[in-house]
Structure 1
Amino acid sequence: MSRYWAGSVFQEGFSVIQLTDTESSSTAELIPAIGNNLFRFECGGHEIILPPASLDSLRREPLAAFQYGIPLLFPPNRVRNGRFSFRGREYKLPLNEPPDHHLHGEICSKAWEIAGYGASQEEGAWVTSRFRYADHPEIMAYFPHLLTFAMTYRLKEGRLYLEGMIENEGVYEAPFAFGLHPYFPLPFASGKQIVLQIPAAAEWPVTNQAFVTGRPEGSAFSQRLREGVPIEDYPVAGCSLLSMDQEMDRTCRIQMKDRGYTIAYQLDHIFPFLVLFRPEWASAYSLEPYTYVTDAFNLPYEHELTGARGIRAGEQIRFMNGLWIET
């Protein structure tokens, strides 16, 4: 019997892609019809990613598409009033967080196309999905750029990898802002000690909606994160915005001291920023890697500082993140 398996199964009326690794007792499940969300990942008997109560709730409940699993975001977080400008062009995004803001983009809720999946000893269990703006005239109406997203999830030797490629197939440079929003289920209510370790360089002052209010500085919190900070008292609905140290190992760790294991989340260098967020709707915590700070195109700071940038015609941007447990 092969160690790895990848296939399509039906759950609650949805087609779900399942990846398994029998030797590490690992399973990952992805729902292409709702944002290509990898909504479940379990490894060695531990639940690593927070799943929704039901798959139908991802479609039925407002905002649920980016409240569970690993939503894919373009642009990540909020755009104030849904408006910004880039290279002389004005953009007006839909206000999907009434009354004032655009939140997290639309690729996290729309259907993706499965390009292929498979399993072997060499490649592990994998699935590749694509999303093309050209197939969505409602998006092209306010963001007229031919972007294509190709995401490959790969489960190999107990580790889950996301290998991403974003390509501009158009003739004009497009604003570029991409992020991920994984939810890690944590036992906040049990009084267990939870320690967060992040290679942080600085902290940005932000509002409770993650809007930037000033330049980043080295704070006591960002310095302590490098060694490890207990977060069991991190405020519900609280958030922090960090600049990452690009010279250090880019692995973040959430240590469950009383449970004897650690969640390790390795980030590619295309993500210089990380949002920390504790949701009020679940006992969970999110480490959100971003290519830019919230609403960067509207900030009065140099783009080198905020990560505001474009993706040129014909350009491909690639990355790879990894997720696993350590015992």
Structure 2
Amino acid sequence: MPAVETTYGGERAVRLSKGSYEAYLLPGWGNLVALRDVTRGFRFLREPEHEMEEFRKAPGRYGIPVLYPPNRYRDGEFTIAGKAYRLPVNEEATHNHLHGFFMRIEWPVVDMGEDEAGAYVEIAHEVKEGHPVYAHWPHTFRFGIRYELSDEGLVQRVRIENRGHEPMPVMLGFHTAVNVPFSPASRAEACSIQLTIGERWELDDRKLPTGRFQPLNENERKMPTGGANPFYEPMDNHYTARPQGGHNRMVLTDAELGLAFVYDVDLQYRHWMVWNNNCCGTFFCPEPQTSMVNAPNMDLPQDVTGLIVLAPSESFSATSRMYVEPSNR
């Protein structure tokens, strides 16, 4: 079956299958935790299948976790369009709010099956008064994510609709965890990354942007053209996005396999975070974000911060894709 309910690591799951590709979504977390090429034995995402207790403690380190709003906000407080927001401080070391509300709650499955695009599953939240998110994000809106799996790889479609009567901010990101290498027959040393970064934001001791840029180091200067080592040093870095040829993407090239895993994200993701778990040597997270860290508190124009505000009845949509192609290096 192209789309079927099953289990994964003891959790309720939806499995998508098409051609040589297979993917697993955990509705209890809204996280697509596995993308595989079963013919070649590739696993592109860091999976929690044998680490489910650790996953439940830290779901942001596996698969494609949903960040809304993404990353850190000073003291959990900000004002947008005249409305004050008070988010819980859930990172005591920095006294910030971190990563939003949708990563640790169950997502209803609203549709699944197969069509001309391939196997698909759609999950969505209808947020209104009484919903667990509403207490801290008091807006009426629908937040839907659709995953489509075909012979061409995985497509993610996001749609957020403001169904309320006042402006609503959209601040969205994904803490995508990519295996390095993605083949058990290869080595991390054979892998390099290309990433469409522009400038690096300077971060203070609370891991919040100062509003200034830092010079790129030697490896960062290699990222836009390829050839950077994803573990050259511990990274928890914040960058502007600078698309190339109409594409905003991360390309993980395996020189031994002659293949590249491509994560091509929507141009509306105006910023990247890059985190490699203290240079762990097994996975790293290229994290697309629509807005910069702490965006509402920055004394910068919205076209710089990337902050999006939807008028009543307006919607936001974004499409991203993961696939494999022959390496050009």
**TM superposition score normalised by structure 1:** 0.89
Per the TM alignment, residue 137 of structure 1 is displaced from its structure 2 partner at its CA by: 3.5
Letter in 1 for 2:203: V
Q: 1:52 is matched with which residue: 48, 67, 74? A: 48
Q: How many residues align?
A: 317
Task: Please tell me whether the aligned partners of residues 231 and 281 of structure 2 are also in contact (alpha carbons under 8 angstroms).
Answer: no
Query: Does 198-207 or 270-279 show the bigger shift?
Result: 198-207
- State the identity as a percent: 24
Q: 1:28 is matched with which residue: 2, 23, 26? A: 23
Q: Map 1:213-252 onto structure 2 (within 5 A).
A: 213-216=210-213, 219=216, 222-236=220-234, 238-246=235-243, 248=245, 249-252=247-250
Residue 78 of structure 2 aligns to a residue whose secondary structure is strand
Task: Please tell me whether the aligned partners of residues 133 and 147 of structure 1 are also in contact (alpha carbons under 8 angstroms).
Answer: yes
Show the counterpart of 2:300. 301
In structure 2, C-alpha distance between the alignment counterparts of 1:269 and 1:131, rounded to whole Å: 24
Show the counterpart of 1:73. 67
Letter in 2 for 1:228: G
Task: Please tell me whether the aligned partners of residues 163 and 321 of structure 1 are also in contact (alpha carbons under 8 angstroms).
Answer: yes
Show the counterpart of 2:100. 105
State whether structure 2 residue 9 is matched by structure 1 residue 15.
Answer: no
Task: Please tell me whether the aligned partners of residues 208 and 239 of structure 1 are also in contact (alpha carbons under 8 angstroms).
Answer: no
State whether structure 2 residue 134 is matched by structure 1 residue 140.
Answer: yes
State whether structure 2 residue 196 is matched by structure 1 residue 202.
Answer: no
- Gaps in structure 1 of 5+ consecutive residues: none
Per the TM alignment, residue 29 of structure 1 is displaced from its structure 2 partner at its CA by: 0.2
Per the TM alignment, residue 268 of structure 1 is displaced from its structure 2 partner at its CA by: 0.6
Per the TM alignment, residue 94 of structure 1 is displaced from its structure 2 partner at its CA by: 1.1
In structure 1, C-alpha distance between the alignment counterparts of 2:281 and 2:4, rounded to whole Å: 30
Task: Please tell me whether the aligned partners of residues 129 and 140 of structure 2 are also in contact (alpha carbons under 8 angstroms).
Answer: no
Q: 1:278 is matched with which residue: 267, 272, 276? A: 276
Letter in 1 for 2:41: G
In structure 2, C-alpha distance between the alignment counterparts of 1:219 and 1:282, rounded to whole Å: 22
Task: Please tell me whether the aligned partners of residues 193 and 232 of structure 1 are also in contact (alpha carbons under 8 angstroms).
Answer: no
Task: Please tell me whether the aligned partners of residues 192 and 257 of structure 1 are also in contact (alpha carbons under 8 angstroms).
Answer: no
Task: Please tell me whether the aligned partners of residues 211 and 298 of structure 2 are also in contact (alpha carbons under 8 angstroms).
Answer: no
- Gaps in structure 2 of 5+ consecutive residues: none
In structure 2, C-alpha distance between the alignment counterparts of 1:210 and 1:256, rounded to whole Å: 32
Task: Please tell me whether the aligned partners of residues 21 and 158 of structure 1 are also in contact (alpha carbons under 8 angstroms).
Answer: no
Q: 1:115 is matched with which residue: 104, 107, 110? A: 110
Q: CA offsets per residue over residues 98-120 of structure 1, 9 Å max, x none?
A: 25121111111101111111124
In structure 1, C-alpha distance between the alignment counterparts of 2:79 and 2:257, rounded to whole Å: 48
Q: CA offsets per residue over residues 72-105 of structure 1, 9 Å max, x none?
A: 1100011111111112221110122225121111
Q: CA offsets per residue over residues 211-257 of structure 1, 9 Å max, x none?
A: 21233467455543221132154323x22222222463223211122
In structure 2, C-alpha distance between the alignment counterparts of 1:94 and 1:54, rounded to whole Å: 31
In structure 2, C-alpha distance between the alignment counterparts of 1:158 and 1:37, rounded to whole Å: 21
In structure 2, C-alpha distance between the alignment counterparts of 1:270 and 1:256, rounded to whole Å: 28
Q: CA offsets per residue over residues 161-204 of structure 1, 9 Å max, x none?
A: 00110111100111220001110111499561322112333222
Letter in 1 for 2:277: P
Per the TM alignment, residue 8 of structure 1 is displaced from its structure 2 partner at its CA by: 0.6
Residue 210 of structure 2 aligns to a residue whose secondary structure is coil
State whether structure 2 residue 89 is matched by structure 1 residue 95.
Answer: yes
Q: Map 1:287-298 onto structure 2 (within 5 A).
A: 287-298=286-297
